[in-house]
């Protein structure tokens, strides 16, 4: 059986994680995988999650199955968090999912079932797993221009031009906030232009919302989703709790489907439940249950908001510090945009030889396309200066 298999290409981010683990140098620096790191370089369990887990441990008296759709209160709270208090809840179907990736996959499978001839369009560049994940649904893939590396901002004309030529019913994957890997987000004005095209051409937006709360704030980061929801008859959102609740390994997310009316939302829910049942039957409970307890408890919720805001603000400070250091070290404004970009990632304007040299000669790990995890940047000014020296050194050498 297995002799028929050809070698599988390793995922760029997972391969980088593995080589970082194997590196024995004391001064190694991980700017690779997207997990939040604190000033000590660790990813501790958040206070609010610890407290919720403790309460859960004491109160839980069964581990019986949940259901393919997951916990009802968790889903309700997630819909509110994403679509806001005034969201069109009667038109929204939501199921708990196995992380944001699981949400993307079940939405993708459902869309393939609903519209097998549609093409799903992904930004260039995008999270490296978008292509294999959505490609595995059987939907055809396309890529739309997104990033202008010279300015470090969105190539809005290129993007709009591409979207304007798409046939009705095609699916467009949009990063709701904190674009991965560039950190270049659409401005409010640009979102409105994208919404105009999506509406005029009858495209289906699939919003990947993996970093809500890491950009401009919890509600601010959902503004684009809410604006789209007020304008389009149908859309989907794949939301993740991995980053904003720091529960990466618990695999908690939500797949949300906005339908034209309540009857179609109910049908969409029944269909996505079948997709779940045929795939992994039911979602895991622990992380979603802890998250639900935070949503349900005023004090825990307030504490979680404080923790989330501290992470967001720390990443902003690191962005500014890195851009300032790089301006001095490189004697150029090439890195200035990093201070303006949003969320956990930015893409350094480096060649692949420079990125390799950073890893091999300086023990600095970043993804092969130049993506850095901003939260992995050192707070310590000396370490930051060392990092920026290393970057300037590899740039000067080439
Ligand atoms: C990332 O982009 O680094 C994260 O979303 C983790 C992953 O699964 O790739």
Q: Using CB atoms within 10 Å of the CB of residue 374, give its burial: 0 to 12 exposed, 13 to 18 middle, 19+ buried.
A: buried
Write the CA distances from 323 to 32, 187, 369, integer angstroms.
Answer: 18, 21, 19
Q: Does the beta carbon of 33 sit less than 6 angstroms from any atom of ligand 1?
A: yes
Q: Roughly what angle, to the nearest 10 degrees, separates helices 99-114 and 262-279? A: 110
The pLDDT value recorded for residue 9 is 85
Q: Which residues contact 251 (CB under 8 A, 6 or more apart)?
A: 98, 99, 102, 242, 283, 284, 287
Task: Classify the C-alpha dihedral 122-243-98-225 as positive or negative.
Answer: negative
**Apex 305 CA angle, 302 and 306, nearest 5:** 90
- Give the distance (Å) from ligand 1 centre to CA of residue 51: 26
The pLDDT value recorded for residue 10 is 84
What's this model's pTM, rounded to 2 decimal places?
0.96
Among protein residues, the one whose CA lies closest to atom 5 of ligand 1: 34
The pLDDT value recorded for residue 398 is 75
- Give the distance (Å) from ligand 1 centre to CA of residue 34: 5
- Give the distance (Å) from ligand 1 centre to CA of residue 210: 10
Q: What is the mean pLDDT of each run of 10 residues along the chain (398 residues)?
A: 92 91 95 94 96 97 95 98 95 98 98 98 97 97 96 97 98 98 98 98 98 98 98 98 98 98 98 97 97 98 98 97 94 93 96 96 95 96 94 89
User: Residue 91's closest CA among 323, 331, 262, 211?
Assistant: 262
The pLDDT value recorded for residue 25 is 96
Q: Does the beta carbon of 143 sit less than 6 angstroms from any atom of ligand 1?
A: no
The pLDDT value recorded for residue 397 is 84
Which domains can be identified in the chain, with CATH numbers? 11-44+310-397 (3.90.1150.10), 65-296 (3.40.640.10)
**Which residues are known catalytic residues?**
127, 208, 210, 243
């Amino acid at each position: 059986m297995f002799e028929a298999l050809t070698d599988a290409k390793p995922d760029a981010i997972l391969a980088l994680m593995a080589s970082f683990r194997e590196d024995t140098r004391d001064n190694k620096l991980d700017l690779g995988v997207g997990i939040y790191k604190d000033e000590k370089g660790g990813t501790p369990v958040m206070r609010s999650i610890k407290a919720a887990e403790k309460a859960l441990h004491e109160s839980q008296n069964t581990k019986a199955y949940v259901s393919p759709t997951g916990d009802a209160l968790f889903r309700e709270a997630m819909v509110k968090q994403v679509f806001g208090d005034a969201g069109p809840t009667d038109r929204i179907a939501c199921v708990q999912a196995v992380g944001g990736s699981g949400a993307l996959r079940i939405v993708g499978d459902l869309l393939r079932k609903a519209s097998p001839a549609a093409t799903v369009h992904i930004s260039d560049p995008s999270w490296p797993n978008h292509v294999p994940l959505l490609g595995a649904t059987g939907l055809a893939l396309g890529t739309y221009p997104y990033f202008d590396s010279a300015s470090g901002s969105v190539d809005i004309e290129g993007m709009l031009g591409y979207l304007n030529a798409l046939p009705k019913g095609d699916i467009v994957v949009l990063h709701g906030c904190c674009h991965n890997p560039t950190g270049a987000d659409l401005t409010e004005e640009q979102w409105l232009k994208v919404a105009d095209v999506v509406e005029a051409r009858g495209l289906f937006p699939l919003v990947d919302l993996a970093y809500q709360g890491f950009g401009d704030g919890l509600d601010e980061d959902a503004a684009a989703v809410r604006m789209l929801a007020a304008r389009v008859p149908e859309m989907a959102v794949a939301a993740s709790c991995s980053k904003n609740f720091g529960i990466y390994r618990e695999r908690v997310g939500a797949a949300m489907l906005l339908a034209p009316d309540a009857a179609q939302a109910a049908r969409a829910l029944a269909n996505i439940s079948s997709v779940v049942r045929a795939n992994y039957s039911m979602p895991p409970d622990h992380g979603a249950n802890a998250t639900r307890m935070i949503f349900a408890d005023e004090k825990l919720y307030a504490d979680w908001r404080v923790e989330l805001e501290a992470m967001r603000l720390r990443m902003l400070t690191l962005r500014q510090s890195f851009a300032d250091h790089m301006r001095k070290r490189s004697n150029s404004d090439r890195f200035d945009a990093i201070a303006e970009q949003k969320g956990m990632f930015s893409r350094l304007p480096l060649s692949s030889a420079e990125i390799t040299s950073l890893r091999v000669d300086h023990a600095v790990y970043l993804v092969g396309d130049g993506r850095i995890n901003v939260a992995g940047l050192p707070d310590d000014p000396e370490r930051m200066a060392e990092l920026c020296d290393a970057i300037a050194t590899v740039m000067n050498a080439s």
